[in-house]
Amino acid sequence: MHGAAASGPIGRWAARAVVAALMAATMVGVGARAAGADDEVDTLREEAATTYTLVEGESHVEVAIDLTITNKKPRSGHYIYYYSQYALGLPGTATDVAVTSDGQDLDFTVDVVASESEFDEEDPSEFLFVTIDLPRRIFYDKSVDLRVEFNVWGAEPRSWQLTRINPAYVIFGAYAWGDPGLGSVDVVIGPGWDVDVYGDMALRFEDGARVYRATAIDDPLGWYALVEAHNDDAREVQTFDFEGIEVDVLAWPGDDEWAADAASWVQEGFPLLAELVGIDVREGDAELDIFEAAEPEYLGYAGWYVDDDDLIELGEHADAHVLLHEMSHLWFDDTLFEERWIAEGLADQVAAEVVERLDLVDRTEFPEPEEPEWRKPWSFPLNEWVTPGEAPAGDFQVQQTESFGYEGSWWVVRTLYQEIGAGAMTEVLQAAEADLTPYQGSGEREVVDVPDDWRQFLDLLQEVGGSEQAEEVFTSYVLTDEQIELLDDRSAARDAYYALVEADGPWETPAAIRHVMARWRFDTAMGWIDEAQEVLDLWAEVEATAAAMGLTPPGTMQAPYEAMTTRFDEATAAGQAHLDTMAALADARGVVGAERDFATRIGLRGKDPEGLLAAADAAYEQGDFAAAEAHAADAVALVDDAPRLGGERIKWFSVAAGGALLLVLALLALLIVWLVRRRRRRTADAAPGGGDGEVAAGDEEGADGGGGEGEAEADPEADPAP
C-alpha cells in the first residue's frame, strides 16, 4: 500500500477475494505398494523451488515448480512401498500445464475442484488437482525430479478470479509447495514496474530484474504472497482541473467502463464535494491521481487514499460513493482531527450528501448506516479505532472490527450532520481548519492552540454547529470510560462559564478564560471564573455606590477585566480605585454639607466649595480619579480653613469699625464747633450800627471788654467767628 494506511468502507463493498484456505492448495503423494501391504499412511519428502516470472509484452506470468520427491517409507516386514504417481494442487487460473522429468514429458490428468468463497457462497472459486504419472517407481530412499510448468493469465476486469495482468497493472498470488523448511519461492519482475509484494520475501536484483525470494519456508501450505506491479506510463489518463487542483483518472488499457464511470463521478462530484467541505485542500495537495487497482479489494477494502503520494487506488467494483469518499480524504485526514473515526465518518457522510444531490443513488450501493450494536464481541468505543496492522481479508476479527468502525463512524457523523445541517457542519469544519476557539467573543475571530482531536470536534459541534445531541452521542458510541469521566468536569465548567457570560453582560468574557475552556483546562477555568465573578461583584458595588451618590461610574474596570491573562489584579485595582475615589468624594460632601457657624460663613464669603465638589464629580465620571480627589481635597480644605479665615475677617472688621467710629466722632465734634461759630457770626452780623454808644439788648459786654465811648468799629480783616 506504498506505506499508507488503508482507507475505505468494507463489508458491503468488500472484494470477494480467495482466502487462505484456497491459497494453500492441496498437495498429496499418491502411492502404490507391493501386493499384501496394509493401508498405512504414505511418507514422501518434497523439496520445491517455485519461480514466478512476469513475461514482458504479454499478459501472463510463467510459473515453474522444480520438485524433488523422495520416498521415505521404509519396508515393513514383507512389504516394500513405492510411489508411481504424484498429485499437487495448482491455482484455478493456471493454464498450459506441462510436466517434465529430466527433459521427458510426463503424462498427467487435471481435475477442477470447487471451493466456496468466504465472501460469496454463490461464487465458488476453483483450483486444479493435477495427478502425474511418475517416470518410474520410487522405492524407499529413492528420488525423482519433476518440473511442473504453467501460465497464469490476467482475468477480465471485475472477474472474481485472482489475477489481473495487463500492460499497466499486474496482481497475482504467489503460492509455495514442498515440506516445511524445504520450500522456496522466487518472483522475477523486469525493469519498468513499480512493485509491491505483500509477504515475507527479500528483494535483490539480478541482471536489472527485481527478484523477490523466500527460502526455507516453514509452512508452505499456509504461505502466500500478493504481488502487485504498476506501469503508470501505460495507463489511459483523463485530466480534470478544478481551480488549480488537477485530478487525473488513470484506468487500465481497455477498461472503458471503469474509466467512464470514474471520470463522470470526478467531474460531477468534486466541485460539490469541495463546496460542502468548505475548506481549502492541504498545502501541496494540488494534484491527485486516481488509479484503477485490484489490490485494495483483495485486501478487504473498496479503495484507499495514499496520503504520502496524493493518490487514490480504487477497486474495480467501486461506485460513486466510494470514489467520493476516498476523494474527500483530500480534506479529511489526521491533520484535521486525529481520530480515525472522524475522518472516515465525515468522508462517508459528505460523499453520501454529494451522491444524493447529484441523484446518483441508483448508480451506487448506498445503504443507510445502522446504529452500532454494543453487544457484539468486536464492538468498541470509536475513539479506540485505529488502522489495522494487517489486511482484514485474512483475519475475521479484523474484518469485523473494520466493518464496525466504518459503520459506526458513519452513523455517528450522519446523526449529527442531519441534526445541525450541511451548512452548520461546513462552519464546524472551517472553524476546525482555522483552529478557532469554540468559545468565541464578539470581536475578531480568535485562534487557539488546541489538540486537533475529538474534544475540539465536540466543542465545535456544540458551540459552532449548535448541536444538542453531540455529547449524548459521544458518550454512547465514541468515548472510553476514562474520557466519559472528563465530561463531568467539562459540564461543571461550561455551566459556570455561561453563568459568567450572562453575569458580565455587555462586558466581554476574558479571552483567557475562553481559551482555557477550549484547551479543556477546567480547573484553571473554574478558578478564573470565580475570580472574574469577584471582579463583577466589585463592579456591582461600584455601581451601587455611584448610584447612591448620583454618579455614573466610568468603565475603567472593563478593559483590564477583558484583557486578563493570568490574574485580575489590574481590574481589582481599578475597582478599588473607584471605591477609594468615591469615598473621598463622599467625605468631601460630608464636610462641605455640614452646618456652618458664623465664622465659617464669614470665611467662605467669595469661596465655592460646592463648585469644587461638582468638578470632582465630573472628573470622576470622566475617569480622572486623581483630579476628582484633588478637587474634593480642595473643597475640604476650603471648608476646613474657613473658620480661621472668618475669624481674621471678623477681627479686621472690628478694628476697622472702631477707627471709623472715632473718625466719625471727631468729624462730628468739628461740625458742632463750626456750627456754633457760624451761629455766633450770624448773630453779630445782625446787631444795629451807630455812634451813640448804645449796646444791643442782651449784650452785656463790649466787643473787646474795654471802655471808650461805647462804640467800636468792626475790623474788616478779622476772621468771622465760627
Quick one: 153 exposed, middle or buried, by C-beta within 10 A (0-12, 13-18, 19+)? Answer: middle
Q: How many CB atoms lie within 10 A of CB 474?
A: 23
CATH of 235-431, one of 3.30.200.20, 3.30.930.10, 1.10.390.10, 3.40.50.300: 1.10.390.10
Q: What are phi and psi of 45, to 5 degrees?
A: -95, 130
Report which residue type is found at 137. R
Examine the pLDDT at 286 and tell me if it is beyond 90. no
The predicted pLDDT at position 685 comes to: 66
Sign, CA torsion 416/417/423/426 = positive
Report residue 693: phi and psi, to 5°. Answer: 80, 5
Inform me whether the pLDDT recorded for 622 exceeds 60: yes
Q: What is the SS3 assignment for 177?
A: coil
Cα–Cα distances in angstroms (integers) from residue 643 to residues 140, 235, 515, in the given order: 142, 110, 61
- How far from chain centre, in Å, is Cα 354? 24
What kind and span of H or E run contains 247?
Answer: strand 245-251
The mean pLDDT of 647-666, rounded to a whole number, is 76
Range of lowest pLDDT (126-135, 416-425, 478-487, 652-661): 652-661
In this predicted model, what pLDDT tens digit does every residue of 221-247 receive, in sequence order?
A: 899 999 999 998 999 999 999 988 999
- Grid coordinates of 223: 504461505
Element (H, E) at 326: helix 320-327
- CB-based contacts of 514: which residues, under 8 Å, 6+ apart? 437, 439, 440, 441, 446, 497
CA atoms within 13 A on the CB side of 117: 19
pLDDT number for residue 313: 92
Q: What is the distance between the alpha carbons of residues 425 and 428, in angstroms, rounded to a whole number?
A: 5
Q: Which secondary-structure segment (H or E) carries 660?
A: helix 625-686
List, for residues 674-694, the tens digit of each pLDDT value.
Answer: 888 877 777 766 656 544 444
H-run or E-run covering 411: helix 396-420
Kindly indicate the confidence band of residue 116, based on its pLDDT and cuts at 50, 70 and 90: low
What is the domain partition of the chain in residue ranges?
20-230, 235-431
The band of 28, judged by pLDDT with boundaries at 50, 70 and 90, is very low
Please give the Cα distance from 656 to 355 (Å, whole number).
110
The alpha carbons of the chain give a radius of gyration, in whole angstroms, of 56
Map grid coordinates 469699625 to a residue. Answer: 657
Query: Among 381-390, 457-466, 494-503, 542-551, which is the least confidently predicted range?
Result: 381-390
What is the pLDDT averaged over residues 288-317? 87
Q: Which of 35-49, 282-296, 392-406 has the lowest mean pLDDT?
A: 35-49
Identity of the amino acid at 532: A
Q: Are 260 and 266 in contact (CB under 8 A)?
A: no
- Residue with the bigger pLDDT between 445 and 11: it is 445
In the beta sheet, which residues pair with residue 147? Answer: 66, 100
Return the CATH fold of 20-230: Immunoglobulin-like (2.60.40)
Residues 250-268 pLDDT 10s: 999 999 999 999 999 999 9
Tell me the pLDDT of the chain averaged across its residues.
85
Q: Which residues contact 34 (CB under 8 A, 6 or more apart)?
A: 79, 80, 81, 82
